[in-house]
Structure 1
Amino acid sequence: MSEISETHTDQACQFDCEGDTLYGVLSLPPKIQMPGILILVGGAQYRAGSHRQFTMLARAFAAQGIAAMRFDCRGMGDSEGAPRSFDQLDADIRCAIDHFMQAAPDLPGVVLWGLCDGASAALLYARHDHRVKGLALVNPWARTEAGLAQAYLRHYYIARLFSKELWLKVLRGKFNVAAAVGSLFKQVASAAGLRRDKSPATTAQDTRALPDRMLDGYTQFDGPVLQILSGQDLTAREFADLAVAGSAWATALGDDRSSRLDLPDANHTFSSKAWRQQVAERTVQWLRSISSV
């Protein structure tokens, strides 16, 4: 079944991945002149995304002449198979690219556009596939216990100290000081590395923390990278905090192939129309710029 607009055609699709059938939607413009965008959803979501954001983004891309595909990974949405964590999606991504390029044979390659752990999955995969021409990393998931604690301290607790509402609660006796101090102590201990890092490691070959594996993925991929970060999202703040002055992440993200869009007021899923339009417009602008090089 397909849905046709004045600018593009939406087509349901299905393809095989190691014996399981996966389902997705292609949004195809009449003419293809640049890499397509493969959208990798984040978390326990399916191809439409929260408040249908991936549906609307794919159609916005196609309306600007960019082919887009969104799909359900194994075990999610309509797709068959057992659910897998974001760092076990290499086969799903590879098979999706295979189908995308078969359905749109004029594609010169693809860009992986991922939100949250979809962005992390893109970083871990891209270096293995020459068809990937760029990465759009949207609020990437780089979670460690220490990293989350540091993000809370920098972007939550400090802001709370200057909150009028907090001090009104204190004066009215409606604020549990003991509980707050206990929570703060736990965050400080975690931030200082006094508690064990529980970031996931899925293979016996690589048990390093997630940020280290992601950094390898970034440095071993030689294409352009766009970062899109929300200001009101601890996941985005935790990722941004990796690039402290003098760090390997600061060096990597400071190179010429990396660009960045910050949306200070946006939340994790860009739930307003204005934020979603900014994300779409910046992605299109970036893709056109790297396609003309």
Structure 2
Amino acid sequence: MRYEERAIGFDCGGDALFGILSLPAAPSVSRRGVLVVVGGPQVRTGSHRQFTLLARALAAAGTPVLRFDYRGMGDSEGAMRGFDSVDEDVRAAIDRFQQEVPGLEEIVLWGLCDGAAAGALYAPRDARVRGLVLLNPWVRTDEGAARATLKHYYRGRLLDAGLWKKIASGRFDLLGAARSFVGVARSALRPPQEAAQCGAALPERLHASLSRFPGKVLVLLSGADLTAQEFSVVAEAPHWRTLLATPRFARRTLPKADHTCSRREWHEQMTAWTAEWLAAW
């Protein structure tokens, strides 16, 4: 199926926002649409046209997609804001999406990194949102990043034959590496009350929000990405394991992919997983 695109503008708090609507070319009544919630600082095209290609592929498969710029980003007016302060932007985009696509009843928010976090925080506040696709969701804390680094980076380095060759030849800064390791280890082992002062509430905010959200959730993770690895560490906690094990959650991992799925085969796999998931319910 082919697709067509058109630019649209809409108001949010007195500022003009702009986006691109991708529609199936064949006339159809679409009850479900995908709104791409970009990460920041980012614009509606995405890194290496990631969101553009995603929107076109989904539209060609029959699902309308809207991608837009937050206030203060890209072509949109207003002051730049953080990912946890874009509820008004997302709501205004959904309102306009429904105006442009008659009969649209269900919205799926698709986000990368802090765009995924923004979508997860927004979802339970709007009954029109029935689904979430979270690619490498942002749950960053100093403690969590350190634990992910210990588990994934240092473990891999110890198994790297090249590292031991450098050590044996005297070309490795052993003292500097030891200092770095100690610093990471201290962050990973920081007491909970001290970690909370460093922003450790974000994983719990996301957990609470996803627990309240009654819709379906697809979690997509890149195996070679620290942000995804940190989410995996967070997800090992008992309350996260319980939540993710419920039938409304699905999880897919692409082992060698980077944060933005920069290779064609990685992008196409993530897009295919999204399309299959959308068609399954």
Give the TM-score category using the shorter length.
Answer: over 0.9
Q: How does 1:6-155 map to 2 (within 5 A)?
A: 7-29=2-24, 30=26, 31-155=28-152
* Secondary structure of the structure 2 residue equivalent to 1:36: strand
Q: Hey, which of these two has a bigger chunk of helix by percent?
A: 2
Which of 267, 270, 275 aligns to 2:261? It is 270
* Aligned mates of 1:95, 1:136 — CA distance in 2: 20
The answer to whether 1:226 aligns with 2:218 is yes
Give, as a single letter, the amino acid of the residue that structure 1 aligns with 2:75: D
* Aligned mates of 1:13, 1:199 — CA distance in 2: 40
| Residue 157 (structure 2) aligns with | 160
* Secondary structure of the structure 2 residue equivalent to 1:141: coil
Give, as a single letter, the amino acid of the residue that structure 1 aligns with 2:36: I
What is the deviation of 1:113?
A: 0.3
* Secondary structure of the structure 1 residue equivalent to 2:190: coil
How many pairs align? 277
| Residue 3 (structure 1) aligns with | none
CA offset digits 1:78-131 (Å, max 9, x no partner):
111111110001001000101111111221221000000000001100000000
| Residue 186 (structure 2) aligns with | 189
Which of 222, 233, 243 aligns to 1:241? It is 233
Does the 8 Å CA contact 2:30/2:64 hold for their aligned counterparts?
no
Give, as a single letter, the amino acid of the residue that structure 2 aligns with 1:234: L
* Aligned mates of 2:258, 2:156 — CA distance in 1: 17
Structure 2 gap segments, 5+ residues each: none
* Aligned mates of 1:262, 1:133 — CA distance in 2: 22
Q: Please, what TM-score do these two structures have when normalized by structure 2?
A: 0.95
* Aligned mates of 1:235, 1:211 — CA distance in 2: 12
Does the 8 Å CA contact 1:73/1:79 hold for their aligned counterparts?
yes
* Secondary structure of the structure 2 residue equivalent to 1:241: helix
* Secondary structure of the structure 2 residue equivalent to 1:156: helix
CA offset digits 1:32-79 (Å, max 9, x no partner):
434101001112110001000100000000000000010000111111
* Aligned mates of 2:178, 2:196 — CA distance in 1: 22
What is the deviation of 1:288?
A: 1.1
* Aligned mates of 1:277, 1:165 — CA distance in 2: 33
Which of 164, 172, 176 aligns to 1:175? It is 172
Aligned-residue CA RMSD (Å): 1.3
* Secondary structure of the structure 2 residue equivalent to 1:16: strand
CA offset digits 1:236-287 (Å, max 9, x no partner):
0111111226x11111111010001110011000011111111111111111
Structure 1 gap segments, 5+ residues each: 1-5, 201-207
Amino-acid identity (%) = 49
* Aligned mates of 1:138, 1:42 — CA distance in 2: 11
Does the 8 Å CA contact 2:58/2:65 hold for their aligned counterparts?
yes
